[in-house]
Structure 1
Amino acid sequence: MEKDRTFVRVLLKWYDTNKRVFPWRDEKLTPFQVLVAELMLQKTNATQVEKLFSNFIENYPDPLSVRKLKESYLSELLKPLGLYNRRARDLKKLADIVIDDNNTIPNNKKALLELPGVGEYIANAVICFAFDQKVPIIDANIGRIMKRVYSFPVKSAPSRDKELTKRMDEILPEKKFKEFNYAMLDFAALICSPRNPKCIQCPINELCDNYQGDDLEKR
């Protein structure tokens, strides 16, 4: 589909000069560290995670170092992120499971979904960003872009929306799929925001079904 090809090309070009730089996007991170980042990012602003992540990984880079922490201390470390008791509990359980499995993070979705705190979005993020597998990353932000640009009928839980997943699979490029997933996340944060999207500045406004030639909040 020509619109899909143009959408991918323009968005990747935009990403080249507008990408956000976060420590959890470092290619040198281990799969465990990528998973820790995704657990921290769940229902939390990236800015908050950025303040904590690098120091956390420097001091606790692997499952064994996390396992040695008292859960109460881990909760205190994670307090700035909110949901800290649940996160601490999940990380402790995760460390135990990974150590018992020869320090291996699974590289398939079914096994990842069995880990504490891991849902559809986190499983796909780890598969893509840690193991370089071609899968779409889908959350409410991606659903918003698809609703606006393609008039796609997004359901209330985008990450579990099978039709949306199928459509994103069709759009996702064979190459640079990791960059495209990051581009979608950054585009949703910087341009196609929930309120007051920057439609005039949007590089794909000519493709967008919802563009009305102004910079007002869209549906």
Structure 2
Amino acid sequence: MLHRTRAEQVLEIYEDFVERFPDFKSVCEAEPEAIENELSSLGLRWRARNLHKLSCEIERRYGGVVPRNKGELLELPGVGNYISSAFLCFSENIPEPLLDTNTVRIIGRLFNLKINDSSRRKKDFETLMRRLLEFGDCRHFSFSMIDLAEAVCRPSSPLCHECPLKLSCSFYRRSHDETDND
């Protein structure tokens, strides 16, 4: 539900949805149109169809229990690398890199890597993120990256002076040097 949608918009719809459909079986037993109607205000008709297919597949193949294996997750309808990594990271605390627009921006700025639309699929970003995940609780780290990107390391007008990583950040050093030279 959070795909291209802010958390504030999702919260009420999510809570109502979970109350009405508390498990995969109830989603699977519902008509696909009912799921689409529940999520239509988020503009996610295609996501609703995938959610219905996904729920039926998890119910049929795994007895309603989400697999804990990345390969099996990737075989599920509508589940790609990001969703499988997010599930393993947040539900199982397995160190899987979450590479999205926000985390790629932080990594790119920290390590002076060129950032573009395909950066989240590049091996160098994944390798760096995997190395960073080695230093503790991956769930906490991933939430911290998401929070840092939203509050400080924003796409435009980043608050570099407030960043706890500024002394290690190539972007900060470069912009700080330019300011000092003015």
Q: TM class by shorter-chain length?
A: 0.7 to 0.9
Could you say if the C-alpha distance between residues 158 and 113 of structure 1 is closer, same or farther in structure 2, counting changes exceeding 3 Å? farther
What is the CA distance between 1:125 and its match in structure 2?
Answer: 0.3
What one-letter code is carried by the residue in structure 1 that aligns with 2:67? P
Q: Deviations over 1:73-94 (max 9, x none)?
A: 21121012212x2112111111
Counterpart of 1:36 in structure 2 is none
In structure 1, the residue corresponding to 2:40 is in which secondary structure?
helix
Q: 1:158-191: per-residue Cα shift (whole Å, max 9, x none)?
A: 3322221111111113431110011001111111
Structure 2-normalised TM-score? 0.87
Alignment size in residue pairs: 175
- Name 1:86's counterpart in structure 2: 46
CA–CA distance in 2 between the matches of 1:120 and 1:183? Answer: 20
Matched residue type, 1:133: I
Indicate the larger mover: 89-98 or 199-208.
199-208
CA distance in 2, matches of 1:180, 1:152: 20
| CA shift digits 1:136-164 (9 cap, x unpaired) | 21111111111111102345323322221
CA distance in 2, matches of 1:58, 1:161: 39
Asked if structure 1 preserves the Cα contact closer than 8 Å seen for 2:54 and 2:76, the reply is: yes
User: 2:117 matched to which residue of 1?
Assistant: 156
Matched, 1:77 2:38: yes
| Percent of aligned pairs with the same amino acid | 35
For residue 189 of structure 1, the aligned residue among 130, 150, 167 is 150
Preserved CA contact (<8 Å) 1:140 1:157: no
> Partners of 1:132 and 1:149 in 2: how far apart?
24
Residue 35 of structure 1 corresponds to: none
Within 5 Å, give how 1:26-105 maps onto structure 2.
40-83=1-44, 85-101=45-61, 102-105=63-66
- TM-score w.r.t. length of structure 1: 0.73
Question: Would you identify which runs of 4 or more consecutive aligned residues in structure 1 move more than 6 Å?
Answer: none
Change (3 A) 1:181 1:117: same
Match of 1:208 among 150, 154, 169: 169
Question: 1:111 and 2:90 equivalent?
Answer: no
Q: Which has the bigger relative contact order, CA under 8 A and spacing at least 6?
A: 1
**Structure 2: 5+ residue stretches without partners:** none
Query: Over aligned residue pairs, what C-alpha RMSD do you find?
Result: 1.9
- C-alpha distance in structure 2 between counterparts of 1:176 and 1:186, whole Å: 15
Q: For 2:81 and 2:95, locate their aligned partners in 1 and report how far apart those are by CA, in whole Å.
A: 15
